[in-house]
Amino acid sequence: MTDVAAYGGTKAKDRKAKYKATLIQYLGEYKNILVINVDNVGSNQMQQVRQKLRGTASVLMGKNTVMRKVLREECANNPKLEGVLSYVSGNMGFIFTNGDLGAIRTLVQENRVPAAARPGQFAPSDVFIPAGPTTLDPGQTSFFQALNIGTKITKGAIEILNQVHLIKTGDRVSSSAVALLSKLGLKPFFYSINVTGVYENGDVYDASVLDMDEASLIARFSGAVAKLAALSLAIGYPTQASIPHSFANALKLLVSLSLATKYTFEESQLYRDYLENPELLAAAKAAAGGGGGGGAAGGDAGAAAAAPEPESEEEEEEAVDMFGGDEDY
């Protein structure tokens, strides 16, 4: 008698050889891999996913020992595959593709199947029993009392008074909770193929990265640049991230020195005008707050801003005297 298995009923040794050849072929043919976990996923659900992915991706399941062996051998040609080895554990497999990883992940995880709770399993999500009438007869009131669930009898049926948080995520499901869900005819859990890791053209990362949109990526990048700039400024080591801040701080210092003395330069003149003429500052604030509204006010503010230019030239001449030491400051 010969061993009957996948790949046309060949012997186990030949089956492993064919699986190895297929895995090597896919590693060379595709540049991206989605690592999937298929706990509680049935064969019919897997077949539906394979049909949806036909033409865009290939699903390959197999024994973890064979996967590890092939990946270690292929690491000699592509060392970046070593990062995939850490994901090879449990009930898992690979989806090979050259397409959009986010779209394929969404398609795979959209295929969800409702399932009843089983005693002893760890809950993948919270389970709530809604308040309201049930189809159970009054003879089952004692069952709810044992679970500390408030009820009343309405029109010959049990009614739950308040919403009940029956099971919390990660908790082990009790037999009493399973019995209650069964009586109410509820299937609280949904199972689907879960993408756990991604190999994208040599880079390996967690699947949660695929949830990030462009805005969140920009926000994370900006946050990282801000932290780098702060660290560079703190230790006095200039980087491309900190140089703009260094110039800004230097300008602030020069403006402060200019205001404390009579030496004026172009960038500090505006601040000196504001200090000497508070009305000019008020007009500038009004112009900025008004968004350009009021032609007369805008003209007055423009005239006021242009007026100090001759004073700037006079103060620059005085600055030469300051450095010459002719006046006492």
Question: Region 206-227: what's the mean pLDDT?
Answer: 85
pLDDT at 7: 44
Instruction: Identify each DSSP E strand in the chain by its residue range.
Output: 32-37, 57-61, 92-97, 113-115, 127-129, 132-133, 151-154, 157-160, 164-167, 189-191, 194-200, 203-206
Residue 175: strand, helix, or coil = helix
Domains of the chain, first to last: 6-112+192-208 (3.30.70.1730), 127-188 (3.90.105.20), 243-324 (no CATH)
d(CA 82, CA 257): 58
The CB density around residue 58, as the number of other CB atoms within 10 Å, is: 17
Any idea which of 76-90, 120-134, 225-239, 271-285 has the lowest mean pLDDT? Answer: 271-285
Q: Which two tokens stand for residue 14?
A: 């030949």
- Residue 135, Cβ density class (10 Å: 0-12 exposed, 13-18 middle, ≥19 buried): exposed
Q: 290 pLDDT band (50/70/90 cuts)?
A: low
Please say if the pLDDT value at position 68 is more than 70: yes
In what side-by-side order are the strands of the sheet with 151-154? 132-133, 157-160, 151-154
- Please tell me the pTM assigned to this model: 0.57
Residues 237-255 pLDDT 10s = 999 988 999 888 888 888 8
Range ranked top by mean pLDDT from 86-100, 107-121, 295-309: 86-100
